[in-house]
Amino acid sequence: MPSPTTEPDSGRRVSLLTLGCARNEVDSEELAGRLAAGGWELTADPEDSDVVVVNTCGFVESAKKDSVDTLLAASDTGKKVVAVGCMAERYGHELAESLPEADAVLGFDHYADLSERLGDVVAGRSIAAHTPSDRRKLLPISPVHRPAAAETVEVPGHAQHGWGPRVLRTRLDDAPVAALKIASGCDRRCSFCAIPSFRGSFVSRQPDEIVAEAMWLAEQGVKELFLVSENSTSYGKDFGRDGASALERLLPRLAGIEGIDRVRVSYLQPAETRPQLVKAIATTPGVADYFDLSFQHSSERVLRRMRRFGSTDSFLALTEQIREYAPAAGIRTNVIVGFPGETEEDLAELERFLTGARLDAVGVFGYSDEDGTEAETFDGKLDPAVVAERVARISALVEELTSQRAEDRIGDLVEVLVEQVGEDGDDPIGRAAHQAPEVDGECVVLDAPESLAAGDLIRCEVVDSAGVDLIVRPVPDADR
């Protein structure tokens, strides 16, 4: 971890608030590393800081609202407030004009000199708000021509260039799990998604760089690595001839790092999920048999309008392939309901898939227009009341099916990573291999030994379930 180049000066205290996904969490820890290297003192409480940096999310309307609310709350502290992250990158000067409470709105291109820009803010110097552009145009169209060009383009989470053996990252918590970015950007053109326009084209991080950061995280006490990107199945596509199996080769390297108990892969595209990748995730020791698959829908007609590929039958075949290797594998997804032109027959097809797939967790979202996307121009928009009714219908089905899936695990043995040790008599909380952080439920550990600590990995028997959560009990050493 980089050490500050100077002792923090008066007026150089900063706090970071992060909204959105795990990718944003990695970006915040990279920014923290940059600021620490620039002589800033990191504080957890905005009230104790001189500048509050809000790493915003700009994915959907609810996330944008949360970002604005957080910026306003930060302003209420009386401290200087700076907006960074996806919403700041996506809207730039428009956000600055509508939110004068923010002292600066900075895009990704400001990250390299963020320390200096915060110095300007503290000194009262005005900074021109970021001007948004399509970041896909910053890199060559051909993926294999991108690695060299990426060194001159600011790609959040790819800040190691020029830093030698040091990892440009500072942990903002002491959790035993940490997100590790393996790539940024996306080359897909899903009609409902704006992410590629402000996150840019797909760029993989070099394997040695990823392994070095993973080793550093292990030294910080991390036990589980949560691999994140916009599309992990594309990892290595920009490496040329040897890129096709890059992720399969990376996984055992990460799992073999001393101190790392579990590696988890996220953000897989079903149409790009190769049989050899399925096998690698399901069978590599130390890699969680967990599949975060972005199905979005299963009606072939709706998927085509989404500019995606697949069908109910092909998706069911993929889930069966996974369970041939690992019958207890965890599979989760998100689905969009009420997409323009969606019919009752399309919805029934989605229900057929969900019923047959036996997924562990499903996020259900109602369609809404996103600025600048192709779907925003589509005809066949459904009445919001119809969308809401369909969301409720699919959500009820999902709740029933995922609860049944959790019940099916009663009697199984699971490896639980303890994340929270109970206080005042509360039972410890952890996660099994099929449960990702925050989104897939948790394990409540009964009759835990007093010596149990956060970061411990213990074998347990599932004795009950509550929705998607599992109630587990440690297995005595003699029975392991």
Query: How far is residue 107 from each of residues 16, 82, 223, 294, 459, measured CA to CA in Å?
Result: 16, 11, 32, 28, 45
Strands 51-56 and 80-85: parallel
**Which residues, 6 or more positions from 146, have their beta carbon under 8 angstroms from its beta carbon?**
139, 140, 201, 202, 203, 238
**Which residues, 6 or more positions from 139, have their beta carbon under 8 angstroms from its beta carbon?**
146, 149, 150, 153, 185, 200, 201, 203
Nearest-angstrom CA–CA distance, 229 and 247? 12
Nearest-angstrom CA–CA distance, 278 and 284? 10
Query: How far is residue 365 from each of residues 96, 210, 336, 403, measured CA to CA in Å?
Result: 29, 32, 5, 19
Closest to 9 in 3D by CA, of 55, 51, 66: 51
Contact 461, 413 (CB under 8 A): yes
Dihedral sign, CA of 294, 296, 370, 74? negative
Q: End-to-end CA distance of the chain: give it in Å, rounded.
A: 38
460 is in an annotated binding site: no
Q: Annotated binding site for [4Fe-4S] cluster, which residues?
A: 21, 57, 86, 186, 190, 193
Q: Annotated binding site, which residues?
A: 21, 57, 86, 186, 190, 193
